[in-house]
Chains A and B, each alone.
Chain A
């Protein structure tokens, strides 16, 4: 089944403890992206990647890192999480021939 997967789905952590949220897609898509969803603010893009080893900042990249070593994986790294990064995170992918994006199930992160 073609899909985008994220792990973990739920995470509660403490301020300053490094964490990684994984994202994987099995559709051979070149493009991948991370968003955070907050009430009243909608979806805001954190980082995106047009292909392997190519990443760019979105609208809210501060406090986040990403890497794209393989086509299928696009992990989101929080080196030193803070409470303002408590949010619902979505990963998405698409082929470069289309703007249609396929979304993962979301990761709900709470930083205390």
Chain B
């Protein structure tokens, strides 16, 4: 069963334009969802988690239980935002696993 879907493999936006990276999950209840980012030639790192409801590097993500979505948004994209972004809901079977989507590669065009 597919646990998380990131429908866009590639996304390009111009600098200063709004950006939205989509994530849909197939869970019941209110999972603790994460967004991870991987900049070029770097390791994956946590960008934000919905439970903290904070904004990191201008990004926010709202959990929409009705649509089972957790889209990542930023009002004004910057060139340094170019990276690979992964949405990651947790395993609901009791293990500490995160299930990563296929990722979206964001390119911000100068």
Give chain A's interface residues, CB within 8 Å of chain B: 30-31, 33, 35, 40-45, 48, 50, 56, 58, 90, 92, 94, 96, 99-101, 103-106
Contacts and interface: CB of A to CB of B under 8 A. Distances in A.
B96 A41 contact: no
Nearest to A41: B102
Interface in B14-71: 32, 34, 42-46, 49
A42 B102 contact: yes
A5 to B, nearest CB: 11
Interface of B: 6, 9, 32, 34, 42-46, 49, 86, 90, 95-103
Nearest to A93: B96
Nearest to B90: A99
A50 B101 contact: no
A74 to B, nearest CB: 13
B44 A100 contact: no
Nearest to A3: B43
A58 B91 CA distance: 11
Contacts of A50: 95-96
Contacts of A42: 6, 86, 100-103
Given A33-B97, A43-B103, A100 B34 contact: yes
Contact of A103 (B6, B45, B95): B45
B96 A99 contact: yes
Given A35-B100, A42-B101, A43-B103, A56 B86 contact: no
A81 B42 CA distance: 25
B49 A43 contact: no
A99 B100 contact: no
Nearest to B4: A42
Given A33-B97, A48-B95, A99 B45 contact: no
Task: Pick the 10 closest A-B CB pairs, nearest first.
Answer: A42-B102, A43-B100, A31-B96, A103-B44, A103-B43, A42-B103, A99-B90, A105-B43, A42-B100, A100-B46
**Which of A41, A42, A103 lies at the interface centre, i.e. has the most chain B CB atoms within 10 A of its CB?**
A42
**Which of B34, B86, B97, B99 lies at the interface centre, i.e. has the most chain A CB atoms within 10 A of its CB?**
B97
